[in-house]
Amino acid sequence: MKKIKSIKKCNNSKYQIEFMDNTKIKLYDNVILDNNILFKKELTIDDYAKLEEENAKEDVYYQTLKFISKKMRCRKEIEKFLDKYSITIDEKNKIINKLNNNRLINDYAYARAYVQDRFLLSSDGPIKIKDELLSNNIQYEVIESLLSELEEDQIYHKLEKLIQKRIKGNSIKSNYALKQKIVYEMENLGYEDGLINEVLSTTHFNDNNIVISKEYNKLYSKLSNKYEGEELAKQIYYKLRSKGFHDSEINNIKV
pLDDT band at 255; cut points 50, 70, 90: very low
pLDDT digits (tens, 9 = 90+) for 41-68: 999 999 999 999 999 999 999 999 999 9
pLDDT digits (tens, 9 = 90+) for 110-160: 999 999 999 999 999 999 999 999 999 999 999 999 999 999 999 999 999
CATH node for 2-101: 1.10.10.10
Residue 214 pLDDT: 75
- Is 144 in a helix, a strand, or coil? helix
Residue 209 pLDDT: 64
* Higher pLDDT pick, 71 / 255: 71
Q: Which residues, at least 6 apart from 96, have a Cβ–Cβ distance to it below 8 Å?
A: 75, 78, 79, 82, 105
Whether residue 174 has pLDDT greater than 90: no
State whether the Cα torsion 172-175-177-179 is positive or negative. Answer: positive
Whether residue 39 has pLDDT greater than 80: yes
- Is domain 107-150 in CATH 3.10.150, yes or no? no
Instruction: Report the predicted TM-score, pTM, of the whole model to 2 decimal places.
Output: 0.74
pLDDT band at 11; cut points 50, 70, 90: confident
Residue 119 pLDDT: 96
Whether residue 191 has pLDDT greater than 50: yes
Q: Which of 56, 60, 106, 59 is nearest to 84 (CA)?
A: 60
Spatial contact of 25 and 47, defined as CB atoms under 8 Å apart: no
Spatial contact of 112 and 141, defined as CB atoms under 8 Å apart: no
Whether residue 210 has pLDDT greater than 70: no
| Sheet strands (E) in the chain | 2-9, 14-19, 24-28, 42-43
Spatial contact of 124 and 162, defined as CB atoms under 8 Å apart: no
Whether residue 216 has pLDDT greater than 80: no
Which residues on adjacent β-strands are paired with residue 3?
42
Question: In Å, what is the CA distance from 142 to each residue of 50, 108, 109?
Answer: 43, 7, 10
What is the average pLDDT across 168-180?
81
Q: Which of 123, 143, 120 is nearest to 133 (CA)?
A: 143
pLDDT digits (tens, 9 = 90+) for 231-252: 888 888 888 888 777 776 777 6
Gap between the Cα atoms of 53 and 157, Å rounded: 56
